[in-house]
Amino acid sequence: MVDSQDMVKKVFTQKSARIDTNKGEEYYNCLFENAKQRISMLQKQPALKDIDMIDVIESEGINRRDFMKWVSATTATLMLPPMFEPLVAQATELMNRVPVVWIELQDCAGNSEALLRSSAPTVDDLLFDVLSLEFHETLQAAAGHDADRQLEEAVEHFKGKYLLFVEGAIPMANDGKYGTIGASGETFHEHLMRMSKDAAAVVAVGTCATFGGIPAAAPNPTGAVGVMDLVKGKPVVNIPACPANPANMVGVILHFVLTGQIPELDSLLRPKFAFGYRIHDNCERRAHFDAGEFVEEWGDIGAQNNWCLYKVGCKGPMTFNNCSIIRYNEGTNWPVGVGRGCIGCSEPDFWDKYAYERPMANANIKAPTGGVEKTVDEFGLGLLTATTIGIGLHAVASAIAGKKSEQNEEE
């Protein structure tokens, strides 16, 4: 029998960044040629939306130099070598060639809010002005039967070509009657299956759409599930988090425009370029974890000096996301940066398993470096709580599942 404490230790000491960031010269040369052909094909197609990307960014005071800096950063984010930068720039200007249909189901519209909440738009934000967004009931002017007609026309006209973005969980209890849409009373489940049938790919945005999110929290009275539990036989991309970061949405669309394919995914169908990193490994407070310096309670000297939040419940060591790198609100900050621990919102069942700030001081963890000023043995040993064991087992299981998935992909 595997000792549970050893399993938890592995969570904190494993090399979580298992992404193959260098696939070799032959792979990139082949991808480069395919991307060139893809862009050439898109350039011959008429724009679906008569808006020029360069005009948009210049109207917002972003010059060409700033745009190219964004292109360089985005290319690196997508884990592509610098040779792809000119192609990424061209793909950005061709975003209006790919139709997007956005539907909203059982949720709070937080992901749409994340798109709109911008006082000084970044290039990421501006891309949504250029995007050929054929339907988004929260953002569009049409309502009622006019909106229904607009959706039907978009799906019919762009059959097999559009990306279907789904925001919100799908209630399945009571034959799906907890969520209906339109005058016909179509259930969210029926609506999702009909809209996804002719999509090129389905992108689930936010934790509700990916893993059920808060609607699926115990006791889950509506029987909420995520998109991947229902849509089969079609590419599905999960972009979890509450809300999902707009930069990751742009990354998925840009990758599709550039290559005509969805990006490489992990075992939970999350893009590896965004979710291949453990928050803990890139956290600005990581040095304090290694040094054994922790916030013990809110307002203490540790909190005043921005020490590690693990002992007051931060779930960064169990959570995979790039928000510690790209951050929120125009890149200015993120939860840990403002003194609030990660709640693991990009992991399955996060509300039941992670979203609390329960002290975890009894975790028997040894710091990866053995500690700088002192070891973690000095900050608390004892019995592991059942919850902590559960979290550790879940995280280890996820890591093992990811490893198996990678092995299968290699085979």
Residues 318 and 11 sit within 8 Å (Cβ to Cβ): yes
Measured at the CA of 130, the angle between CA 124 and CA 135, to 5 degrees, comes to: 105
Is 283 annotated among the ligand-binding residues?
yes
Is 108 annotated among the ligand-binding residues?
yes
Query: What is the Cα–Cα distance from 275 to 321, expressed in whole angstroms?
Result: 4
As given in the structure block, the two tokens for residue 159 are 């059959």
Q: Is 207 exposed, middle or buried (0-12, 13-18, 19+ CB in 10 A)?
A: buried
As given in the structure block, the two tokens for residue 308 are 């590690």
Is 30 annotated among the ligand-binding residues?
no
Torsion of CA 339, 343, 345, 347, to 10 degrees: 130
Report helix, strand or coil for 302.
Answer: helix
Q: Is 220 exposed, middle or buried (0-12, 13-18, 19+ CB in 10 A)?
A: middle
Q: Which of 280, 255, 270 is nearest to 341 (CA)?
A: 280
Tell whether the torsion through CA atoms of 264, 269, 275 and 281 is positive or negative.
negative
Q: Which of 275, 314, 354, 336 is nearest to 17 (CA)?
A: 275
Exposure of 350 in the CB half-sphere (CA atoms within 13 A): 26
Residues 269 and 201 sit within 8 Å (Cβ to Cβ): no
Gyration radius of the chain's alpha carbons: 22
Please enumerate, by residue number, every residue annotated as part of a binding site.
108, 208, 242, 280, 283, 308, 314, 323, 342, 345
Please enumerate, by residue number, every residue annotated as part of a binding site for [3Fe-4S] cluster.
323, 342, 345
Please enumerate, by residue number, every residue annotated as part of a binding site for [4Fe-4S] cluster.
108, 208, 242, 280, 283, 308, 314
